[in-house]
Amino acid sequence: MNGSQDDNDRIVITGIGAISSVGNDRESVWRAVRHGVSGVRRLTGVPLIPDGMMLGAPVDIEPDEPGGLKVTALCLHAAEEAIRDAGNALAATAPERFGCAISGHIGDLDWIAEQVGRNDLIAPGKVPWVQQWLPNSTCARVATRYGLHGPRICHSTACASGLIDFLSAVRAIEDGQCDAALAGSAEAIHPLFAAGFRQMRVLAEHDDPQAACRPFDADRRGFVMGEGAAMFVIERLACARRRGAKIYAEVLGGRMLADAHHVTGLSAESDTLAHLITGTLRRSRLAPADIAYINAHGTGTQQNDVMETRGIRMALGSAAQRVCVSSIKSMLGHLVNAAGSVELAITALALRDGFVPPTLNLTNPDPECDLDCIPLVGRPIQFEHALKISVAFGGHLAAVALRRWDEAAAGRVGRAA
Protein backbone atom coordinates (compact mmCIF):
# COMPACT_ATOMS: atom_id res chain seq x y z
CA MET A 1 0.00 0.00 0.00
CA ASN A 2 1.41 3.39 -0.99
CA GLY A 3 1.88 6.14 1.59
CA SER A 4 -0.92 8.67 1.97
CA GLN A 5 -1.69 11.77 3.98
CA ASP A 6 -3.33 9.47 6.51
CA ASP A 7 -0.10 7.49 6.75
CA ASN A 8 1.77 10.71 7.52
CA ASP A 9 -0.58 11.36 10.43
CA ARG A 10 -0.15 7.90 11.96
CA ILE A 11 2.75 6.95 14.20
CA VAL A 12 4.11 3.46 14.73
CA ILE A 13 6.73 1.65 16.80
CA THR A 14 9.41 0.08 14.59
CA GLY A 15 12.21 -0.63 17.08
CA ILE A 16 12.36 -1.76 20.71
CA GLY A 17 15.37 -2.28 22.96
CA ALA A 18 15.20 -3.41 26.58
CA ILE A 19 17.32 -4.56 29.50
CA SER A 20 16.32 -5.48 33.04
CA SER A 21 17.20 -7.75 35.94
CA VAL A 22 15.73 -10.73 34.06
CA GLY A 23 17.32 -10.26 30.63
CA ASN A 24 19.87 -8.30 28.62
CA ASP A 25 17.76 -7.77 25.51
CA ARG A 26 14.17 -7.29 24.41
CA GLU A 27 13.24 -10.90 23.79
CA SER A 28 14.94 -12.36 26.87
CA VAL A 29 13.20 -9.79 29.10
CA TRP A 30 9.86 -10.57 27.46
CA ARG A 31 10.40 -14.32 27.73
CA ALA A 32 11.17 -14.04 31.45
CA VAL A 33 8.15 -11.82 32.11
CA ARG A 34 5.89 -14.21 30.22
CA HIS A 35 7.01 -17.03 32.48
CA GLY A 36 6.80 -15.07 35.72
CA VAL A 37 10.53 -14.94 36.41
CA SER A 38 11.56 -12.54 39.18
CA GLY A 39 14.84 -10.62 39.30
CA VAL A 40 14.49 -9.52 42.94
CA ARG A 41 17.23 -10.36 45.44
CA ARG A 42 18.95 -8.96 48.52
CA LEU A 43 21.30 -6.12 47.64
CA THR A 44 24.91 -5.63 48.57
CA GLY A 45 27.26 -2.82 47.74
CA VAL A 46 24.71 0.03 47.88
CA PRO A 47 26.58 2.93 49.51
CA LEU A 48 25.29 3.98 52.93
CA ILE A 49 22.90 1.00 53.17
CA PRO A 50 24.07 -2.11 55.07
CA ASP A 51 24.43 -5.20 52.88
CA GLY A 52 21.33 -7.40 52.91
CA MET A 53 19.11 -4.71 54.43
CA MET A 54 17.30 -3.90 51.20
CA LEU A 55 15.71 -5.81 48.34
CA GLY A 56 16.06 -4.85 44.70
CA ALA A 57 16.18 -6.07 41.11
CA PRO A 58 19.59 -4.93 39.80
CA VAL A 59 21.27 -5.27 36.41
CA ASP A 60 24.90 -6.28 36.01
CA ILE A 61 26.33 -3.82 33.51
CA GLU A 62 29.49 -1.73 33.45
CA PRO A 63 29.70 1.85 32.14
CA ASP A 64 31.92 2.32 29.10
CA GLU A 65 34.21 4.75 30.97
CA PRO A 66 35.55 4.76 34.55
CA GLY A 67 33.02 6.23 36.94
CA GLY A 68 30.43 6.70 34.23
CA LEU A 69 26.78 6.68 35.25
CA LYS A 70 25.17 3.25 35.29
CA VAL A 71 21.90 4.81 34.14
CA THR A 72 23.67 6.04 31.00
CA ALA A 73 25.13 2.59 30.32
CA LEU A 74 21.68 1.04 30.61
CA CYS A 75 20.17 3.57 28.24
CA LEU A 76 22.95 3.22 25.67
CA HIS A 77 22.50 -0.57 25.76
CA ALA A 78 18.76 -0.34 25.09
CA ALA A 79 19.18 2.41 22.49
CA GLU A 80 21.69 0.32 20.51
CA GLU A 81 19.21 -2.57 20.37
CA ALA A 82 16.29 -0.32 19.39
CA ILE A 83 18.27 1.35 16.58
CA ARG A 84 19.46 -2.03 15.30
CA ASP A 85 15.94 -3.48 15.57
CA ALA A 86 14.49 -0.65 13.50
CA GLY A 87 16.65 -1.53 10.49
CA ASN A 88 17.68 1.43 8.35
CA ALA A 89 15.55 4.04 10.14
CA LEU A 90 18.61 6.11 11.04
CA ALA A 91 20.04 6.06 7.54
CA ALA A 92 16.66 6.75 5.95
CA THR A 93 15.93 9.86 8.03
CA ALA A 94 17.73 13.20 7.81
CA PRO A 95 19.55 13.89 11.11
CA GLU A 96 17.63 17.12 11.68
CA ARG A 97 14.35 15.16 11.32
CA PHE A 98 15.28 12.51 13.93
CA GLY A 99 14.48 13.50 17.52
CA CYS A 100 15.52 12.13 20.89
CA ALA A 101 13.38 12.02 24.05
CA ILE A 102 15.00 10.41 27.10
CA SER A 103 13.92 10.96 30.68
CA GLY A 104 16.00 12.75 33.29
CA HIS A 105 17.81 11.04 36.14
CA ILE A 106 19.93 11.74 39.19
CA GLY A 107 23.30 12.91 37.93
CA ASP A 108 26.83 12.53 39.25
CA LEU A 109 26.89 13.60 42.92
CA ASP A 110 30.60 13.07 43.57
CA TRP A 111 30.95 16.76 44.40
CA ILE A 112 28.64 16.19 47.37
CA ALA A 113 30.68 13.16 48.41
CA GLU A 114 33.77 15.37 48.37
CA GLN A 115 32.12 17.98 50.58
CA VAL A 116 31.14 15.43 53.23
CA GLY A 117 34.52 13.75 53.22
CA ARG A 118 33.50 10.52 51.52
CA ASN A 119 36.20 10.38 48.84
CA ASP A 120 36.13 6.59 49.29
CA LEU A 121 32.91 6.61 47.25
CA ILE A 122 34.62 8.19 44.24
CA ALA A 123 36.27 5.91 41.67
CA PRO A 124 39.88 6.90 40.91
CA GLY A 125 40.48 8.30 37.45
CA LYS A 126 36.77 8.64 36.77
CA VAL A 127 35.11 10.92 34.27
CA PRO A 128 34.78 14.43 35.80
CA TRP A 129 31.47 14.88 37.62
CA VAL A 130 30.75 18.10 35.74
CA GLN A 131 30.33 16.09 32.52
CA GLN A 132 27.44 14.03 33.87
CA TRP A 133 25.78 15.89 36.73
CA LEU A 134 22.85 17.35 34.77
CA PRO A 135 19.59 15.33 34.67
CA ASN A 136 19.69 15.43 30.86
CA SER A 137 23.23 14.01 30.63
CA THR A 138 22.07 10.65 29.28
CA CYS A 139 19.71 12.23 26.75
CA ALA A 140 22.57 14.37 25.43
CA ARG A 141 24.99 11.43 25.37
CA VAL A 142 22.65 9.16 23.40
CA ALA A 143 21.58 11.84 20.91
CA THR A 144 25.21 12.79 20.31
CA ARG A 145 26.29 9.17 19.81
CA TYR A 146 23.76 8.70 17.00
CA GLY A 147 24.06 12.19 15.51
CA LEU A 148 20.41 13.09 16.15
CA HIS A 149 19.85 16.78 15.40
CA GLY A 150 16.08 16.80 15.80
CA PRO A 151 14.30 18.02 18.95
CA ARG A 152 15.97 16.87 22.16
CA ILE A 153 13.43 16.33 24.97
CA CYS A 154 14.01 15.43 28.62
CA HIS A 155 11.45 15.35 31.44
CA SER A 156 11.82 14.56 35.11
CA THR A 157 8.35 13.53 36.24
CA ALA A 158 9.10 10.73 38.69
CA CYS A 159 7.80 7.30 37.68
CA ALA A 160 5.72 8.71 34.81
CA SER A 161 8.88 10.02 33.11
CA GLY A 162 9.31 7.20 30.63
CA LEU A 163 5.74 7.37 29.40
CA ILE A 164 5.70 11.17 29.29
CA ASP A 165 8.86 11.35 27.20
CA PHE A 166 7.44 8.72 24.85
CA LEU A 167 4.31 10.84 24.43
CA SER A 168 6.41 13.97 23.95
CA ALA A 169 8.30 12.28 21.12
CA VAL A 170 5.03 11.21 19.52
CA ARG A 171 3.74 14.76 19.70
CA ALA A 172 6.96 16.18 18.26
CA ILE A 173 6.36 13.99 15.21
CA GLU A 174 2.69 14.95 15.09
CA ASP A 175 3.60 18.65 15.30
CA GLY A 176 5.96 18.33 12.32
CA GLN A 177 9.17 18.91 14.30
CA CYS A 178 10.59 15.57 13.18
CA ASP A 179 9.66 12.38 11.31
CA ALA A 180 11.18 9.84 13.69
CA ALA A 181 12.48 9.74 17.25
CA LEU A 182 14.38 7.62 19.71
CA ALA A 183 12.41 7.66 22.96
CA GLY A 184 12.57 5.98 26.35
CA SER A 185 14.25 6.01 29.74
CA ALA A 186 16.56 4.16 32.12
CA GLU A 187 16.99 3.76 35.86
CA ALA A 188 19.78 2.61 38.16
CA ILE A 189 19.31 2.24 41.90
CA HIS A 190 20.75 5.38 43.49
CA PRO A 191 21.67 5.55 47.19
CA LEU A 192 19.73 8.79 47.71
CA PHE A 193 16.58 7.33 46.16
CA ALA A 194 17.03 4.13 48.13
CA ALA A 195 17.47 6.02 51.41
CA GLY A 196 14.48 8.24 50.65
CA PHE A 197 12.16 5.35 49.88
CA ARG A 198 13.34 3.52 53.00
CA GLN A 199 12.57 6.61 55.06
CA MET A 200 9.07 6.75 53.54
CA ARG A 201 8.56 3.07 54.45
CA VAL A 202 7.28 2.16 50.99
CA LEU A 203 9.86 -0.57 50.31
CA ALA A 204 8.73 -4.17 50.71
CA GLU A 205 10.50 -6.71 52.90
CA HIS A 206 10.04 -10.48 52.89
CA ASP A 207 11.99 -13.58 53.91
CA ASP A 208 11.77 -14.67 50.28
CA PRO A 209 12.94 -11.69 48.17
CA GLN A 210 11.08 -12.89 45.07
CA ALA A 211 7.79 -12.92 47.00
CA ALA A 212 8.18 -9.38 48.34
CA CYS A 213 6.37 -7.32 45.70
CA ARG A 214 2.69 -8.32 45.63
CA PRO A 215 0.56 -5.91 43.57
CA PHE A 216 -3.21 -6.20 44.16
CA ASP A 217 -2.63 -8.78 46.91
CA ALA A 218 -4.20 -8.30 50.35
CA ASP A 219 -0.78 -8.98 51.90
CA ARG A 220 1.12 -6.41 49.84
CA ARG A 221 3.76 -4.41 51.69
CA GLY A 222 5.18 -2.01 49.12
CA PHE A 223 7.55 -2.16 46.16
CA VAL A 224 11.16 -3.08 45.53
CA MET A 225 13.53 -0.91 43.51
CA GLY A 226 14.65 -2.15 40.12
CA GLU A 227 17.06 -1.28 37.33
CA GLY A 228 16.69 -1.35 33.58
CA ALA A 229 15.87 0.58 30.43
CA ALA A 230 13.69 0.50 27.36
CA MET A 231 14.03 2.53 24.19
CA PHE A 232 11.80 2.85 21.14
CA VAL A 233 12.18 3.98 17.57
CA ILE A 234 8.91 5.62 16.57
CA GLU A 235 8.15 7.16 13.20
CA ARG A 236 5.49 8.20 10.73
CA LEU A 237 3.74 5.25 9.15
CA ALA A 238 4.54 6.64 5.69
CA CYS A 239 8.27 6.55 6.48
CA ALA A 240 8.06 3.03 7.89
CA ARG A 241 6.23 1.77 4.82
CA ARG A 242 8.63 3.39 2.38
CA ARG A 243 11.54 1.44 3.85
CA GLY A 244 9.61 -1.79 4.44
CA ALA A 245 10.04 -1.70 8.20
CA LYS A 246 8.51 -4.24 10.53
CA ILE A 247 5.96 -2.65 12.85
CA TYR A 248 5.18 -3.65 16.42
CA ALA A 249 2.17 -1.45 17.15
CA GLU A 250 0.42 1.77 16.24
CA VAL A 251 0.29 4.57 18.79
CA LEU A 252 -3.37 5.54 18.87
CA GLY A 253 -3.43 8.18 21.58
CA GLY A 254 -2.24 9.36 24.92
CA ARG A 255 -2.88 11.91 27.58
CA MET A 256 -1.24 13.51 30.62
CA LEU A 257 -3.08 14.91 33.64
CA ALA A 258 -2.27 15.92 37.22
CA ASP A 259 -3.73 14.55 40.43
CA ALA A 260 -3.58 17.83 42.38
CA HIS A 261 -3.84 16.17 45.76
CA HIS A 262 -0.50 15.49 47.50
CA VAL A 263 3.15 15.05 46.55
CA THR A 264 3.14 11.35 47.46
CA GLY A 265 -0.52 10.57 48.21
CA LEU A 266 -3.24 9.87 45.68
CA SER A 267 -6.85 10.96 45.65
CA ALA A 268 -8.96 8.10 46.99
CA GLU A 269 -11.82 9.08 44.67
CA SER A 270 -9.69 8.32 41.57
CA ASP A 271 -11.56 10.93 39.53
CA THR A 272 -8.46 12.23 37.76
CA LEU A 273 -7.25 8.76 36.80
CA ALA A 274 -10.71 7.98 35.40
CA HIS A 275 -10.59 11.22 33.37
CA LEU A 276 -7.12 10.26 32.13
CA ILE A 277 -8.31 6.89 30.85
CA THR A 278 -11.51 8.30 29.36
CA GLY A 279 -9.59 11.08 27.63
CA THR A 280 -7.02 8.65 26.22
CA LEU A 281 -9.77 6.43 24.82
CA ARG A 282 -11.57 9.42 23.29
CA ARG A 283 -8.39 10.68 21.65
CA SER A 284 -7.69 7.18 20.37
CA ARG A 285 -11.26 6.77 19.05
CA LEU A 286 -11.79 3.71 21.20
CA ALA A 287 -14.70 2.55 23.33
CA PRO A 288 -14.14 1.07 26.80
CA ALA A 289 -15.01 -2.38 25.48
CA ASP A 290 -12.18 -2.14 22.92
CA ILE A 291 -9.49 -2.34 25.63
CA ALA A 292 -8.61 -5.96 26.36
CA TYR A 293 -5.43 -5.44 28.42
CA ILE A 294 -4.15 -2.75 30.77
CA ASN A 295 -0.56 -2.76 31.95
CA ALA A 296 -1.09 -1.11 35.32
CA HIS A 297 1.25 1.04 37.36
CA GLY A 298 0.64 -1.56 40.09
CA THR A 299 3.27 -0.66 42.69
CA GLY A 300 2.10 -3.07 45.39
CA THR A 301 1.48 -0.25 47.88
CA GLN A 302 -1.76 -0.21 49.86
CA GLN A 303 -2.91 3.08 48.36
CA ASN A 304 -1.90 2.80 44.69
CA ASP A 305 -3.51 -0.53 43.89
CA VAL A 306 -6.94 0.37 45.30
CA MET A 307 -6.91 3.82 43.70
CA GLU A 308 -5.89 2.39 40.32
CA THR A 309 -8.61 -0.27 40.48
CA ARG A 310 -11.25 2.36 41.23
CA GLY A 311 -10.07 4.60 38.40
CA ILE A 312 -10.19 1.76 35.88
CA ARG A 313 -13.67 0.76 37.00
CA MET A 314 -14.96 4.33 36.82
CA ALA A 315 -13.55 4.83 33.32
CA LEU A 316 -14.50 1.49 31.77
CA GLY A 317 -17.85 0.88 33.46
CA SER A 318 -19.24 -2.56 32.74
CA ALA A 319 -16.32 -3.27 30.37
CA ALA A 320 -14.04 -3.46 33.44
CA GLN A 321 -15.51 -6.91 34.12
CA ARG A 322 -13.78 -8.27 31.03
CA VAL A 323 -10.48 -6.38 30.92
CA CYS A 324 -7.20 -8.07 31.90
CA VAL A 325 -4.93 -6.02 34.19
CA SER A 326 -1.44 -6.94 35.39
CA SER A 327 1.65 -5.43 37.01
CA ILE A 328 5.13 -6.56 36.00
CA LYS A 329 6.67 -4.65 38.91
CA SER A 330 6.04 -7.91 40.75
CA MET A 331 8.96 -9.33 38.72
CA LEU A 332 11.17 -6.42 37.64
CA GLY A 333 10.74 -4.16 40.64
CA HIS A 334 9.85 -0.48 40.39
CA LEU A 335 12.09 1.07 37.74
CA VAL A 336 10.99 4.62 38.69
CA ASN A 337 12.07 6.82 35.73
CA ALA A 338 12.22 3.76 33.47
CA ALA A 339 8.99 2.14 34.67
CA GLY A 340 6.76 3.65 32.01
CA SER A 341 9.03 2.81 29.07
CA VAL A 342 9.89 -0.76 30.12
CA GLU A 343 6.25 -1.51 30.87
CA LEU A 344 5.15 0.04 27.56
CA ALA A 345 7.66 -2.20 25.77
CA ILE A 346 6.13 -5.24 27.48
CA THR A 347 2.67 -4.01 26.48
CA ALA A 348 3.70 -3.77 22.82
CA LEU A 349 5.21 -7.27 22.91
CA ALA A 350 2.07 -8.62 24.61
CA LEU A 351 0.04 -7.24 21.70
CA ARG A 352 2.44 -8.70 19.15
CA ASP A 353 2.31 -12.21 20.63
CA GLY A 354 -1.25 -12.30 21.95
CA PHE A 355 -0.20 -13.01 25.51
CA VAL A 356 -0.92 -11.03 28.69
CA PRO A 357 1.83 -11.28 31.35
CA PRO A 358 1.01 -12.31 34.91
CA THR A 359 1.05 -10.48 38.22
CA LEU A 360 3.49 -12.51 40.28
CA ASN A 361 2.76 -13.27 43.98
CA LEU A 362 -0.96 -12.56 43.66
CA THR A 363 -2.10 -15.41 45.90
CA ASN A 364 -4.61 -13.59 48.13
CA PRO A 365 -6.40 -10.94 46.03
CA ASP A 366 -7.52 -7.82 47.86
CA PRO A 367 -11.34 -7.63 47.63
CA GLU A 368 -10.97 -3.91 46.83
CA CYS A 369 -8.77 -4.80 43.83
CA ASP A 370 -11.51 -6.77 42.13
CA LEU A 371 -10.31 -6.76 38.52
CA ASP A 372 -8.93 -9.73 36.59
CA CYS A 373 -5.30 -9.13 37.58
CA ILE A 374 -3.87 -12.29 35.93
CA PRO A 375 -2.59 -14.01 39.08
CA LEU A 376 0.65 -16.01 38.89
CA VAL A 377 0.38 -17.34 35.34
CA GLY A 378 0.13 -15.38 32.09
CA ARG A 379 -2.62 -15.98 29.59
CA PRO A 380 -2.73 -16.37 25.79
CA ILE A 381 -5.37 -13.99 24.41
CA GLN A 382 -5.60 -12.57 20.91
CA PHE A 383 -6.40 -8.90 21.36
CA GLU A 384 -6.13 -5.70 19.36
CA HIS A 385 -5.92 -2.80 21.82
CA ALA A 386 -4.02 -2.22 25.06
CA LEU A 387 -3.50 0.60 27.52
CA LYS A 388 -0.44 1.51 29.60
CA ILE A 389 -0.94 3.66 32.73
CA SER A 390 1.66 5.49 34.84
CA VAL A 391 0.85 7.10 38.21
CA ALA A 392 3.73 9.07 39.71
CA PHE A 393 4.77 10.95 42.83
CA GLY A 394 4.02 14.63 42.34
CA GLY A 395 0.62 13.78 40.86
CA HIS A 396 1.89 13.04 37.33
CA LEU A 397 -0.53 10.77 35.44
CA ALA A 398 -0.01 9.46 31.91
CA ALA A 399 -1.57 6.86 29.64
CA VAL A 400 -0.89 5.52 26.13
CA ALA A 401 -3.16 3.39 23.95
CA LEU A 402 -1.63 0.98 21.41
CA ARG A 403 -3.11 -1.06 18.58
CA ARG A 404 -1.65 -4.37 17.52
CA TRP A 405 -0.20 -4.05 14.02
CA ASP A 406 -1.26 -6.27 11.16
CA GLU A 407 -1.89 -5.53 7.51
CA ALA A 408 -5.61 -6.17 7.89
CA ALA A 409 -5.72 -3.28 10.36
CA ALA A 410 -3.45 -1.08 8.27
CA GLY A 411 -6.25 0.62 6.40
CA ARG A 412 -7.98 1.83 9.54
CA VAL A 413 -7.03 5.37 10.39
CA GLY A 414 -6.03 6.07 13.98
CA ARG A 415 -5.14 9.33 15.65
CA ALA A 416 -1.65 9.89 16.99
CA ALA A 417 -1.17 11.10 20.54
CA gap 172, 283 in Å, rounded: 17
Whether 334 sits among the annotated catalytic residues: the reply is yes
SS3 assignment, position 108: coil
Q: In one letter, which amino acid is 47?
A: P
**Helix, strand and coil in the chain, % to nearest 5:** 35, 20, 40
SS3 assignment, position 102: strand
Beta strand ranges found along 262-307 (DSSP E): 293-295
Whether 159 sits among the annotated catalytic residues: the reply is yes
CB 84 within 8 A of CB 233: no
- List 297, 324, 385, 396, catalytic entry: 297
CA gap 217, 333 in Å, rounded: 15
- List 334, 369, 373, 396, catalytic entry: 334
Q: What is the 3-state secondary structure (H, E, C) of 322-354?
A: CCEEECCHHHHCECHHHHHHHHHHHHHHHHHHC
The candidate with the shortest Cα–Cα distance to 72, out of 124, 13, 4, 143, is 143
Q: H or E element: which one contains 139?
A: helix 137-145
CB 388 within 8 A of CB 326: no
Buried b (16+ CB within 10 A) or exposed e, 326-347: bbbbbbbbbbbbbbbbbbbbbb
- List 139, 159, 178, 373, catalytic entry: 159
CA atoms within 13 A on the CB side of 100: 26
Whether 100 sits among the annotated catalytic residues: the reply is no
CA gap 268, 307 in Å, rounded: 6
| Active site positions, annotated | 159, 297, 334
